[in-house]
Amino acid sequence: MSSSGFDINRLNAFAEKMVREKKTAVGFPCNQTVKLADFYHWYAVSGLADVAMNNVGDPHKPSLYALNTHEFENEVIDFFSPLYGFSPGDAWGIVTNGGTDGNNHGIYFGVNALRSSSDLKPVLYVSEEAHYSIKRLSDLQGLEMRQIPTNVRGEIEVQAFEQALDPSRPALVVIAVGTTFKGGIDNQDAIDDVLARKRPVGVYRHVDAALFGGYLPFTEHANLVNHHERKFDSIAVSGHKFFGFDEPSGLFITTKDVLVRQNPFRVSYLNESVPTISCSRSALAPLKFWWQIHKTGVEGYRRQAELILKNAVYLKKRLDEINYQAWLNDISNTVYFKRPGDWVMKKWNLAPYEDERLGGKLAHDIVMRHEGMNMIDHFIDDLLLDRREGGDVER
């Protein structure tokens, strides 16, 4: 496109539209309480906005490409790894470009780690209601995947998992801590009991905690994402969900024992070690994470976690008050309910789903920090109007 096609008015109109629409965006797990204006001001005036940085290679080894933010990336991992129960000095991790990137690393690292237990490729086990990225990544990595049925809350059916488990082959188990639509949490204790009884030739547990992994470490239920207590091998968490970044990012954390069982694909000009799937990685995302950690702190995250869970309970209470069929799982910020009319779906940016066990067509509201009680009350008003008008109101 030539310079003559540059239209600042078009860009301004687009920006106004995004700022306006974020006020009623409650159906997807993007935290719209983004506080990065000060960061971007510093980023511009510091001169970094005109520097091409790249976090290529292993951030824990000196990089031959000096223009990187590895030191900040490592400090981010050092901050979060104890919160996820990894021992100091034993954790290895990276800032990813999102939950799917973290899951991709978890599956890939798991396949490599399991090679020491069997020459056979592992079977990937995951619930039917886990994030769709697992299905895509299993196909991408050429794995046999067995999808396990779930109960009505979206949690893996443990008996069905036991029936599907083949002990003659390594088991790569992806555990959902907060399923995409219902916020179901797989029962890790029950899964471990099955694995202990059937004793597969090898086991690797990866936790997909894209949304819930953001806030659970700051609640009384932190043990659900604690490596030391739950014995999982790796975890993936999103940055653009609970933490509220303006673009996809995330965390992948595992142990050094898992790391040493990877193929580093030694590359001389990258200081011999590239364990990551992607070579180039964002150098800006770790800076934003580091900035937020020091601006917010553990206590700030605790307050934010308490707020979203409190407001999710408030939303469920309001739906109950108007006799609107709805459900809320324990320790969840995701309220799912009978699907309203199209205009409500569009206005509030709701995500559709279907489950015949719950009456068919559903939608959900993922309560993030930008959705307070006042916004919830306006949402309830629209549901009441939609019900009075039979879903035919145009807005």
Q: Per residue in 215-263, pLDDT tens?
A: 999 999 999 999 999 999 999 999 999 999 999 999 999 999 999 999 8
Does residue 395 register a pLDDT over 50? no
User: Would you list the DSSP string of 58-78?
Assistant: -TTS--SS-S--HHHHHHHHH
pTM score of the predicted model: 0.95
Pick the CATH number of 45-293 from 2.30.110.10, 3.40.50.300, 3.20.20.70, 3.40.640.10: 3.40.640.10
In b/e form, how buried is each residue of 61-74, taking b as 16+ CB within 10 angstroms? eebebeebbbebbb
pLDDT tens, position by position, 77-93 = 999 999 999 998 899 99
Q: Strand locations in the chain, DSSP E?
A: 91-96, 123-127, 144-148, 171-176, 203-208, 234-238, 250-255, 326-328, 334-338, 351-355, 360-366
User: Which residue pairs, CB below 8 angstroms and at least 24 apart, start in 302-305?
Assistant: 302/218, 302/219, 304/215, 304/218, 304/242, 304/369, 305/215, 305/216, 305/218, 305/219, 305/242
Burial of 340 (0-12, 13-18, 19+ CB in 10 A): buried
Q: Taking the domains of the chain in order of start, what are their residue ranges? A: 45-293
Once rounded to an integer, what is the mean pLDDT over residues 205-219? 97
